[in-house]
Chain A
Amino acid sequence: MSQWRTVVVAGVITGTLLYAVAGRDRQEERAEAPKRAAAVTPQRIDIPSLKLKAPLMRLGLTKEGDVELPPFEKPQVAGWYEGSAVPGEKGASVIIGHVDTKTAAAVFYRLREVRKGDEVRISRSDGKVARYRVDRIEQVSKERFPAERVYTEDGLRLVTCGGPFDRRRGQYRDNIIVYASLVT
């Protein structure tokens, strides 16, 4: 019996020591974090009022200078435009998601139901969570897409499609844009 007790005590001591060492490593990581701010990426979006939780991917630019879109094969993934600010930092952070695919609803299907004051949370790769409050929601023709407002002004912008679907051109006529301001 006393042998077992010795083993348990030894285990507890070893565990405590390991935890202390690992804990110090974690603290060092935190201290280094600001240096690597450029490498931080947003990883998840959470809109509690819509019960929407989705992973985020990085979106670059096409050769034509348009933002890439998440692939239709991953309809439940939204994308962060990597040329925009990391959510939680100063500047415009742009997140784009499909409203639907050719056959089914997609990640931002219910985005148009979001209301002023709703919370949007963005989880980042450094463990921080950027919290935003929705200021307003806009439905605007793609021909009058407010690029400057979306890509240059401070805050989070969630973009998807909406309005009537133009079957001839194979696309929705409008964009739905949600504007949100950083809370923390």
Chain B
Amino acid sequence: MVTGSAVLRRDVNPGRYPVEVRCEGTNDSGTARLTVTRPRPTPTPTPTRTYPTRAPHAGGGGTAASGPADEQGIPLPLTGLGVAALVAGGVVFARRRFG
């Protein structure tokens, strides 16, 4: 009896493959047949370049109340006007009191 082993390539095509065995030193030989039944697995496409797929979390939320989320903050010109009015009021008050 002769035994042996063989390794098949992963991408071997389905089909019938003849196997011949010959013993060295003698003229003994034998044949067998190997049948590959499973279809060849479709090769998974290897991406040429990998890249991150998830979205970056580029913010801590500190300005969320008036920042990029919505526009509820007081617009800058109005803030400026408010400050100016306060200063003017202060000046008038100081003049009346100490002037």
Q: Do A and B come from one complex?
A: yes
Point out residues on A near B: beta carbons under 8 Å: 61, 65-67, 69, 72, 81, 83-84, 96-106, 108-109, 112, 142-143, 145, 147-148, 151-152, 159-165, 167, 170-172, 175-176
Q: Which of B49, B56, B62, B70 has the most CB of A within 10 A?
A: B56
CA distance in complex: A167, B64 (Å): 10
Q: How far does the Cβ of A144 sit from chain B's closest Cβ, in whole Å?
A: 9
In the complex the two chains form, is A161's CB within 8 Å of B68's CB?
Answer: yes
A-B contact pairs, 23 of them (CB 8 A): A66-B54, A67-B56, A69-B57, A96-B56, A100-B63, A100-B67, A100-B68, A102-B62, A103-B62, A104-B62, A142-B54, A147-B54, A148-B51, A152-B49, A159-B56, A160-B59, A161-B57, A161-B59, A162-B68, A170-B61, A171-B61, A172-B69, A175-B58
A100-B67, A172-B68, A172-B69 known; A165-B53 Cβ under 8 A: no
Where chain B touches its partner, the secondary structure class is loop
Residues on A with C-beta less than 8 A from B61 are 100, 102, 165, 167, 170-172
B60 CB within 8 Å of chain A = yes
Residues on A with C-beta less than 8 A from B18 are none
CA distance in complex: A81, B51 (Å): 10
Residues on A with C-beta less than 8 A from B64 are 100, 164-165, 167, 172
In the complex the two chains form, is B59's CB within 8 Å of A106's CB?
Answer: yes
B74 CB within 8 Å of chain A = no
Q: Which of B60, B67, B68 has the most CB of A within 10 A?
A: B68
Residues on A with C-beta less than 8 A from B54 are 65-66, 142, 145, 147
**Whose C-beta in chain A lies nearest to the C-beta of B65?**
A165
Residues on B with C-beta less than 8 A from A142 are 54-55, 57
Residues on A with C-beta less than 8 A from B63 are 99-100, 104-105, 109
CA distance in complex: A101, B64 (Å): 10
CA distance in complex: A108, B60 (Å): 12
Q: How far does the Cβ of A96 sit from chain B's closest Cβ, in whole Å?
A: 5
**Whose C-beta in chain A lies nearest to the C-beta of B49?**
A152
CA distance in complex: A83, B52 (Å): 9
In the complex the two chains form, is B55's CB within 8 Å of A175's CB?
Answer: yes
Q: Which of B52, B53, B56 is in CB contact (< 8 Å) with A175?
A: B56
Residues on B with C-beta less than 8 A from A165 are 59, 61, 64, 69
Given contacts A105-B62, A161-B56, A171-B61, 16 further A-B contacts (CB under 8 A): A69-B56, A84-B51, A99-B63, A103-B62, A112-B68, A142-B54, A160-B58, A162-B59, A162-B68, A162-B69, A163-B68, A165-B59, A167-B64, A172-B64, A172-B69, A175-B55
Q: Which of B53, B57, B58 is in CB contact (< 8 Å) with A97?
A: B58
